[in-house]
Structure formats: structure tokens, C-alpha cells
Structure 1
């Protein structure tokens, strides 16, 4: 078993739903300027808009802002974003297809949020990982009794380590829900985020356009 890319620092750019040929209730927001109690936003690819705290536009309300980050309410969801970051609040496509969009960061990594057994965790897409992989703390948070899994030796960027083979009952990314997903749990704090490996990615179609990567459930 091979696991790569055990990263200690990532940037979350958010997720969104996108289904080819179908309408999607999806609000995308990019942060292009930050000031005290003000932020400059690009909403759904439109022209930059400056909002003061308390103001709203196109379903996006500015809750707080300073030179470091802005807190937004996007279609009812709270998002905290820094300069250059983006978020997309997901909606259901008219065709009912299960899909999600990930956005690459400056290093080209696709990172976002997921739910494992109902627990919210951060992940990074990693085609070099044989399975979904996580550290033991994240496994406990997701109510996975990993010590009952089969112990195996795996090769990582940090060398050979012991991992436990487990099965994730429910993995959700945006509008995609996967059941019974093979995973590996590594003792300790590495990887720092969940690695979305091939045991999940093999069940998804992936299509990239510029910095956007569309995931669509195959089965």
C-alpha cells in the first residue's frame, strides 16, 4: 500500500456542486480585497463588489472583516475566508446528479471539507494514495474504531509506518455520498488532513477546467 503527500499545511478553497447540462443552485464567492469592516468580493464570476459589515448582495452577507479575513453568510452558511480564497455553497442540480467542484490553491492542491460518518473534516485530493487515509485523531472524531482493523505496513513520505485497514460507512463531499469506502488509519497526527485516495476516487469521474475540478459520482 502506498500513501503520498502527507501535508502539514493546506489552504481551504471550498466546494460546490456542478452538473453538466443542468442548472445548479450554487453561490460562488472570491475574496479580492480586505479592509477594516469592508471586503471586496466577486460573486458568481461577476464584477467586484465592496460590502461593508451588515450589507448583503446576491445571497452573500458580510458579517465581519479585517485585513486578515472576512466572515460571510452565504445562503445561510457561515464562511471565513482570507485574501485570494474562494467558497462555493452547494445546491442540488435539477437532474439530481451527485457532483461537487473543488478549486485548486496556489500550489495546485485540491482541498476542501467532507463529512465522514457525519463528522466534518478537512481533506486533500491525493491520487497517489491507495485508499482514503487519515490520522488516528480524525478517525476517533469520526467514530471509527480503527484498532479493530487489520494492521498493515504502509509506505509514506515519512517512511514505513503502521496503519489499520478500516471501512468508512459514509463519506460525503458536497452532493456526493459514498458508502463502504476502504480507508487506512495511521497512528498519530499524520496526515494532518484526510487524504482522499483512490478507494474513493475510483468511484468518481473527474473533469478539470482551469482551477476547477468537477467530481461526479459513478456508483
Structure 2
């Protein structure tokens, strides 16, 4: 009888421990106005306040130092952290060299929100810029999630929407939460890789070669 009681007590006190171990590993790895980049068990995504991300984790609020997340029904504040690999080693810097191409421009293959695109590097563009047809192909719901603005183009002023892209990637360099502008009509004809991406990495030009490097 006593052995049975002891075993029952062990099982009873083990249950909360097992539940704790089963809880997902959650980190806040990026912060933006009204949104946070969260990492849930290695899956990263930019999530707006009030919306759910990987694993059903909800971003309740976000500011410059951290975010309040609802994880399995429990709200808790998470500070901004640096992502580390499973072995807790510093991540290596990713590098990419791009040779000058047609018309003396730099062209580089990459992706937006995991959808393949061909970028034209434009240091004169303040943001990543795409036209509305490209935005539709990429599945960007700019009219719902964007903020309407007016931008100047070669043909004059045009209606546009400022949005946040979940991910912009070239080579092994992946930047989350990149500001972009979706312009009404067919301008720009090419997807412009502007300063909202370039300012988030290190880059330089040497003898006709553009060298890009991720920041840790």
C-alpha cells in the first residue's frame, strides 16, 4: 500500500514538469511599430499585434524593448533576444558578391516572403519597391495591411502603400520585417532592392563588385 501511495505521489508531481518541458521555445528576435518577429521552435515570422504566428502564439503588444505574447493561453512579456543556434554558438556572417551586370546595374536573385524575385539594387530608393502586379503575384495584401501614401516617380506622383515584408532574402542573407512600398500601376518595372534592406546589412562596392554581408 505504501509503495502504491509513493508511486502515485511521484506521478502527480511529475505532471507539471512534463507539461513545462512540452511548452514551445519562444523568442522575440525583432521589433517594429505594431509588430514583432517571433521564433517558435525555430520557425520565424513577422507577426502584427493582435495576430497569431507560428504555434498559435499571439502578439498582444510590442514596443522598443520587447513584446507581450500569449503562449498557450498565458500572457507573458518577452524581452528582445539574439537568436542562437542549438549549440549556442555565434551565427556566422553570410556574404554575397554581385558582379555589375547589364546597363552597369547590379542584379541579384532572391526572394520576398519565400517567393522568388529578381532584384535590381538601387541605393537611391529609400525602400524595397514593387509595383502592384508584382505584389499580387507575391501574395502581398497591400490594400488591407498597407498604409496609403503618395510617392514621386519618373512620371509624376503616384498612389502607393507602405507595407512590412515578412522576409527579404538574397543568397544566404535573410532579413525579416523589411519595409517596402507597393506602387500603383506598372512602375517600377523591376523589383528595387532599396535602402530599407541595405541599411540592415553591411555593403560596399569594390571595382565593379557589390559585396553584401549580413549583420550579427
Give the TM-score category using the shorter length.
Answer: 0.5 to 0.7
- Give distance in 2, aligned partners of 1:119 and 1:137: 14
User: Which of 117, 120, 127 in structure 2 is aligned with 1:124?
Assistant: 120
1:139 aligns with 2:149: no
Look up the match of 2:72: none
- Give distance in 1, aligned partners of 2:153 and 2:98: 24
User: By percentage of residues, which structure has more helix?
Assistant: 2
Q: Compare relative contact order (CA 8 Å, sep 6+) and give the higher one, 1 or 2.
A: 1
Query: CA deviation digits over 1:6-35, x for unaligned, max 9?
Result: xxxxxxxxxxxxxxxxxxxxxxxxxxxxxx
Change (3 A) 1:108 1:153: same
Report runs of 4+ in structure 1 exceeding 4 Å deviation: none
How far is 1:107 from its partner?
Answer: 2.7
Query: CA deviation digits over 1:52-89, x for unaligned, max 9?
Result: xxxxxxxxxxxxxxxxxxxxxxxxxxxxxxxxxxxxxx
How far is 1:106 from its partner?
Answer: 4.7
Look up the match of 1:169: 166
User: Which of 84, 97, 102 in structure 1 is aligned with 2:98?
Assistant: 102
Any conservation in 1 of the 2:93–2:215 contact (CA below 8 Å)?
Answer: no
TM value normalised by structure 1: 0.54
5+ unaligned residues in a row in structure 1: which ranges?
Answer: 1-94
User: By percentage of residues, which structure has more strand?
Assistant: 1
User: What is the root-mean-square deviation in Å for CA atoms of aligned residues?
Assistant: 1.5
Any conservation in 2 of the 1:112–1:122 contact (CA below 8 Å)?
Answer: yes
- Give distance in 2, aligned partners of 1:172 and 1:106: 22
Look up the match of 1:11: none
Counting only pairs closer than 5 Å after superposition, residues 1-219 of structure 1 correspond to structure 2 as 96-148=92-144, 149-218=146-215
Any conservation in 2 of the 1:121–1:193 contact (CA below 8 Å)?
Answer: no
Look up the match of 2:50: none
Any conservation in 2 of the 1:121–1:138 contact (CA below 8 Å)?
Answer: no
Of stretches 192-201 and 97-106 in structure 1, the one that deviates more from structure 2 is 97-106
- Give distance in 2, aligned partners of 1:176 and 1:201: 11
Look up the match of 2:70: none
